[in-house]
Amino acid sequence: MLKMGGVETKTTMNMSSNMPNKSPKLSNKQEMLTPLAPYVHVPELLHPAADSASSAYESYIMLPELKSLWEKQEFTDWKNEHILKPALQGLELTFRFISTALFDPRPYINKREMNRRLESLAATQIEIIAALLEDEIGDNQALTMGVGAKISENSLLPALCGWQRSERVARKIIHTIEREMINCPHTLGLGEPNMSNKPTLNYDLISKPLELHSLKQGSFETDSNFQSYENQTIFTIHQILETWIFVSKQVIRKLVSEIKNKDYSKASTLCWLLEKMWKLLTEIEDTHLLMDPDDFLRLKNQLSIKVSTESDLFCFRSKGLIEITKLSKELRHKVPEILEAEVDPKGGPTIQIEAMKLYRKKDGFERIHLLQGMQAVEMAVKRFYYSYKQLVVVVMGSLEINMNRGLQVMDVGHVLDRIFLDPTYYPSLDAAKTFLGYYYWKHENGN
């Protein structure tokens, strides 16, 4: 007996050993399977912080100014400008983060581990950018400078290569660019060797480093209490975070468009990139672990960051983060369209059966890749919020995450726990895999 969509359906698989190569069938014979947890509608868990808190956050990291750079359309023939331009700007902001961290004069900062983290952070972004660039630029002459063109004059990376303190880190990043861009028709033009003599992107024209680096200070620049390296670190972290949140939102929109156009190969590629972007967001947040506890908590008090309700959590002050969380979850509504099946209004296993057929026959494996990618995105979303709760506990103490109520750290009623424990977004895919596993177990055991 299997529970689906709140409706109990008495179905089993045909386990006939005479037909091992055919798709598993549902028969009338009743056998008891290990029941799946029923899918239960869960009320919306995500609620943004108060407008005043969100506005203060956006003003602090200069989000309106950043958005104007991301959203400005300058290349009419470049359809993916809204994805790649902010992605390159996120990478450039990481170069600024590296500069801030390496030249931090505080002797008690763990610079060795910070360097490793920032190298990894840059490498992850370069990997994503390279994947996005493989088929995107084409022959658009406005975006390239030809073979043998000069390197960027305004990016911080070439400058980091020229400073003794930052040269090792910068060189590693340059070699990462050369390695990751090997399948791309162009290279970034940030000082990489370019052994293949590829045309170079007009990096300065696209990413606008000078305009980007003018957004170095938040609204509190005139207040001497905020003139600290810890302050520079925290708002740079969140500028990078918000940039990649914006990129993720654009990727989701393009993913939905590709599903609508039935280009499941491109949709699958974008879906797996989205999963990597969620992991990147987790990696960005985790850089908070290396902030000095005393300096950070003093800055937190100066910034008046205080949690009194669940929606006051710092992550919920980001409207963009809440939006991409909802959009990622809403991908589940595309499963019937991908499987070319209609949802049974009575809660029957129509979608489950079609998924089983697809998995078994492998007819259109691009759709399998896409469905697997969608479930991987679900994992990454839940992992992000679970990791975020542990991050807040480590950085600020358990009382902060429990809103000064003195609750246990693993309070299952907390919104971050409920997001992590939310039932699967894809109950039909879950049921299909459960039945297939049961079928093969029965078949191989001769039952």
Question: Average pLDDT over the chain, rounded to whole?
Answer: 83
In this prediction the pTM is 0.86
What is the model's pLDDT at position 217? 59
Render 153-211 in DSSP notation, one character per residue: SS-HHHHHHTSTTTHHHHHHHHHHHHHHGGGSSSB--SS---TT---BB-HHHHH-HHH
pLDDT exceeds cutoff 90 at 414: no
Query: pLDDT tens digits for 253-306?
Result: 999 999 999 999 999 999 999 999 999 999 999 999 999 999 999 888 887 776
Query: pLDDT tens digits for 25-64?
Result: 444 333 434 334 444 344 466 777 788 888 888 999 999 9
Which pLDDT band, with edges at 50, 70 and 90, does 418 fall under?
confident
Query: Are residues 381 and 278 in contact, defined by beta-carbon separation less than 8 angstroms?
Result: yes
| Of residues 32 and 367, more confidently modeled | 367
Residue 295's alpha-carbon distances to 235, 300, 397, in angstroms, are: 14, 9, 15
What is d(CA 318, CA 276) in angstroms, rounded to the nearest whole number? Answer: 20
The residue-averaged pLDDT of 88-111 equals 94
The residue-averaged pLDDT of 10-36 equals 40
Q: At what angle do helices 350-361 and 365-396 cross, to 10 degrees?
A: 110
Query: Are residues 219 and 59 in contact, defined by beta-carbon separation less than 8 angstroms?
Result: yes
Which pLDDT band, with edges at 50, 70 and 90, does 141 fall under?
low
| Of residues 311 and 3, more confidently modeled | 311
The residue-averaged pLDDT of 317-336 equals 94
What is the model's pLDDT at position 401? 76
| Of residues 244 and 298, more confidently modeled | 244
